[in-house]
Structure 1
Amino acid sequence: MITPISHPVSALPLHQVSILGRTTNVTSNISTADNEHYAYVNHNNTQPDNLLPKNYLVSDVTVSKQTLQFSSRASYLNWLSVQYIWEDIVFPGLLRIGDRDPIVHEIHSRLILLGDSDEQLHLSNIYTAEIATAVRHFQRRHGLTADAVIGPDTLKWLNLNPLRRAELLSQNMEEKIHFMANLGDRYLLVNIPAYELLLSDHGEIALRSRVIVGKPKKPTPILTSEIKSIVINPSWRVPRSILEDDLLPKVQKNGDFFTQSNFKVFDYQNQKIEKSAEEWQQLANGQFPYRLEQMPGTNNALGRYKLYFPNDFSVYLHDTTNTNLFNNTNRALSSGCIRIEKVDELADWIANSLVDNKKLWSHLKFTRKTTKWFPLNDVLPVHLVYWTAWIDDRGLSQYRDDIYALQQ
């Protein structure tokens, strides 16, 4: 049990009081601030968690560094919510380096308070290169494109009040700390809102990869399972929902779509069906009575690899042919399955660590037509989690969009 013991808070340190935005007037006389209890240290890319009266932690158990960082950050945000008025900043357009506007001063003030800038605040309305550096740092912490352009998405996060920040951080970090405490040394973990996959081996992060997850209408489920096999050169049995929502509209426009995309059509007795382009177009406009399977090859939607794990949602991890989408900031784009950017590195690790028939694996790596399931000699736990706020390995608080509206 951790008990924070703090001295009363009255104001920011004296060197910061005169330069920052409107306070809640907890104190009207800055000379009453007791500097002995303040330990604000400016370091590049360090958030001002120590912009607090010094905390003396009393604990009868070992506390992890991340837990202490989270506790410190949440305490600071709660304190900030009491000390400062946090009204919405409103700007109808975009702000770029060199632009002038009175809100630049307020934006820079918030970047200092949130720890993204260690520059001195000036009474100026010019959006300078120094402020832009802080904006990029802020944008990276919130999963935004770090282009220093201040628009609606950046303002949305700047306007998130410190109390709500503390609530989100506390809710997610408490869940994360409890969850991670029960994991073994080897696992795959996908944080859905972060669009990120982590591979842990022997308690160390062996791989990080960007991923694409399910769109809000077809979300990736939160679950825990075990990967028991990997498929090289998989075929793809198209789910009925994807057939109706995504593929049949394409056939309505182009009757040769099935042939051009290497699909085969079967009835529900597994008999292959052949039709002309015109017949396929007609069938696509009605109750399509067949199932669809895409053969392995360079244009297969699953790419080179599929990682199967038992679940009730028919989702899995796989490669993709459309790698450009990994550059998108919003990567909630799939129908529920998870596409992996560094799938080749992950597959190589699995082959080296968990596949017995390495000779056959090496041979099939250089073909695209032959499908082969490789059972693993040990299961690989996989965890699909949903954390929209956390403390990262550098001690920085990270926030992401609640893409499935689960934390309203």
Structure 2
Amino acid sequence: MNLLSGPDGLKLQRKSKTRRDFLRLCAIGCGLPLLAGTAAQAQNQQVEWVDNFDIATDNITEVKSSAPTLSPETADYIAAAMNRYQLIVQQGGWGTVSQGGKALRIGMKDPRVVELRHRLIMSGDLEQQAGLSDTFDSYVDAALRRFQLRHGLIPDGVMGEGTVAALNIPAHVRLRQLETNMIRLRSMSGFKGDRYVMVNIPAAEIEAVENGYVRSRHTAVVGKIDRQTPILNSKIYELNFNPYWTVPKSIIRKDLIPKMKEDPEYLAKNNIRIFDWSNNELNWQQIDWNTDEATQYRFTQDPGAENSLGSVRINFHNKHQVYLHDTPSKTLFGEANRFHSSGCVRVQNVRELVTWLLQSTTPDWNRSRVDGVIRTGDREDVKLKRSIPLYLTYVTAWANADGVVHFRDDIYNRDDLYGTGEQARL
């Protein structure tokens, strides 16, 4: 499909779909932001993009750099992004999109689409030539999906409440977020090891890094606001296949006791058994569930499909009793806000990560052997012949070499972007 001529007689041809062009389109601020006067000129010229809404957007994927988030160059990329954002702030920001009303999506006409176009042009997600019409065409759809991906939102191309909230974060707040994270990343820019694993808590994402390149990325589920995943540096030293799960005391108190009050069959349904510290098994009727007596015993969940650790647990040294692990609750990986755990980190496609950990330190393991051990359901512990560095980090803004800038919610309020000390809802 070609873009037909507008009233000014200019014939716009569709851009090529090479990777280079796609990166250029996605890069925030790849050129100077649209000035207010330029935006007005574009509107006055009534540049039209005749659109039959037939451009496929299902294959839009997040632009990812092969360089790790903790790359020594990342802070420099952030500094470059800061220069662009300072210019946007000096121009008065990028405006807002009106809240309320129905969600907008491709094919609709609405006055708020004009606001959306302006906002996306200012941040570099939509090309200036798209103009400021009130039609939600496929170019707006693709630009909005890119914006959503850069902000950790579900890239559905729908301008709903959550997307509008992200669009309306002021440019000066995003600039401050970049400044905070540049300092944070400069402090972490030393040599991390030839191979290491990085968990970015606000992004709920894991990177397996080898020789300066990201070998694989994994969606994660991390700690709730009131049960935060700790920020620390450690080393992965052991894998437990088909593990037992010993319920931490905090979860016994906060979760297990309330569930037993609601349903006395909860333990049996979830294959959880009770032991005293002499390894004698108890019945649930022997415990007073109206008190904290249960915290005096050991609760162990047997291996199996319902085990909270799934098929494998990844151990690293720490004082918080947390670890990386599989999970039977796979649907949580499809959510935008993946802050559901009690501090541990759940790993999507955990077998890929486990295979990489083993192959890089214990060469007699491969994916086939990993799958086979899990398939048997038998317990097996494997100590790595060489431990792998692990970094649990907190990065809410970063940029890559292509100029793409990512933001994530300051879920634990460690950026304190508004200077209030209260939870920032970004």
TM interval, short-chain normalised: 0.7 to 0.9
- Structure 2: runs of 5 or more not aligned: 1-22, 34-70, 417-426
SS for the counterpart of 2:356 is helix
SS for the counterpart of 2:353 is helix
Partner of 1:285: 290
Offset at 1:48? 2.4
Partner of 2:200: 191
- Structure 1: runs of 5 or more not aligned: 1-41, 53-62
Q: Cα RMSD over matched residues?
A: 2.5
Measured in 1, the distance between the counterparts of 2:243 and 2:401 equals 36
Pair 1:124–1:207, CA change in 2 (3 A): closer
1:118 aligns to 2:127 (yes or no) = yes
Measured in 1, the distance between the counterparts of 2:397 and 2:198 equals 16
Picking from 246, 249, 256, the partner of 1:247 is: 256
Q: Tell whether the 8 Å contact from 2:222 to 2:340 is kept in structure 1 after alignment.
A: yes
Partner of 2:307: 300
Q: Kindly provide the amino acid, as one letter, of the partner of residue 341 in structure 1.
A: Q
CA deviation string 1:103-155 (max 9, x = no partner): 32122112111010015253532323321221111111101111121122222
Picking from 20, 25, 33, the partner of 1:44 is: 25
1:108 aligns to 2:113 (yes or no) = no
Larger deviation, residues 149-158 vs 75-84:
149-158
Offset at 1:375? 1.4
Offset at 1:85? 4.8
Measured in 1, the distance between the counterparts of 2:339 and 2:190 equals 28
Larger Cα-atom Rg: 1
Measured in 2, the distance between the counterparts of 1:317 and 1:340 equals 7
Q: TM-score, normalised by structure 2?
A: 0.76
Picking from 141, 159, 177, the partner of 1:132 is: 141
SS for the counterpart of 2:104 is coil
CA deviation string 1:333-354 (max 9, x = no partner): 1000000001111111222232
Q: Kindly provide the amino acid, as one letter, of the partner of residue 152 in structure 1.
A: E
Q: Tell whether the 8 Å contact from 1:231 to 1:371 is kept in structure 2 after alignment.
A: yes
1:205 aligns to 2:214 (yes or no) = yes
Measured in 2, the distance between the counterparts of 1:334 and 1:362 equals 25
Pair 1:358–1:78, CA change in 2 (3 A): closer
Q: Kindly provide the amino acid, as one letter, of the partner of residue 237 in structure 2.
A: K
Offset at 1:393? 5.4
Offset at 1:361? 6.7
Picking from 300, 311, 316, the partner of 1:309 is: 316
Measured in 1, the distance between the counterparts of 2:93 and 2:374 equals 59
Picking from 187, 190, 209, the partner of 1:181 is: 190
1:84 aligns to 2:65 (yes or no) = no
Partner of 1:238: 247
Pairs aligned (count):
352
Pair 1:396–1:43, CA change in 2 (3 A): closer
Q: Tell whether the 8 Å contact from 1:49 to 1:72 is kept in structure 2 after alignment.
A: no
Could you tell me the percent identity over the aligned residues? 34
Q: Tell whether the 8 Å contact from 1:303 to 1:321 is kept in structure 2 after alignment.
A: yes
1:157 aligns to 2:166 (yes or no) = yes
Partner of 1:341: 348
Offset at 1:216? 0.5
Pair 1:132–1:356, CA change in 2 (3 A): closer
Pair 1:128–1:257, CA change in 2 (3 A): same
SS for the counterpart of 2:159 is coil
Q: Kindly provide the amino acid, as one letter, of the partner of residue 344 in structure 2.
A: C
Offset at 1:157? 2.0
Pair 1:125–1:363, CA change in 2 (3 A): closer
Q: Tell whether the 8 Å contact from 1:78 to 1:166 is kept in structure 2 after alignment.
A: yes
Measured in 1, the distance between the counterparts of 2:376 and 2:174 equals 50
Measured in 2, the distance between the counterparts of 1:300 and 1:249 equals 19
Offset at 1:330? 0.6
Pair 1:149–1:366, CA change in 2 (3 A): closer
1:70 aligns to 2:78 (yes or no) = yes
SS for the counterpart of 1:181 is coil
Picking from 316, 321, 330, the partner of 1:323 is: 330
Q: Kindly provide the amino acid, as one letter, of the partner of residue 233 in structure 2.
A: T
Pair 1:123–1:90, CA change in 2 (3 A): closer
Picking from 398, 403, 406, the partner of 2:411 is: 403
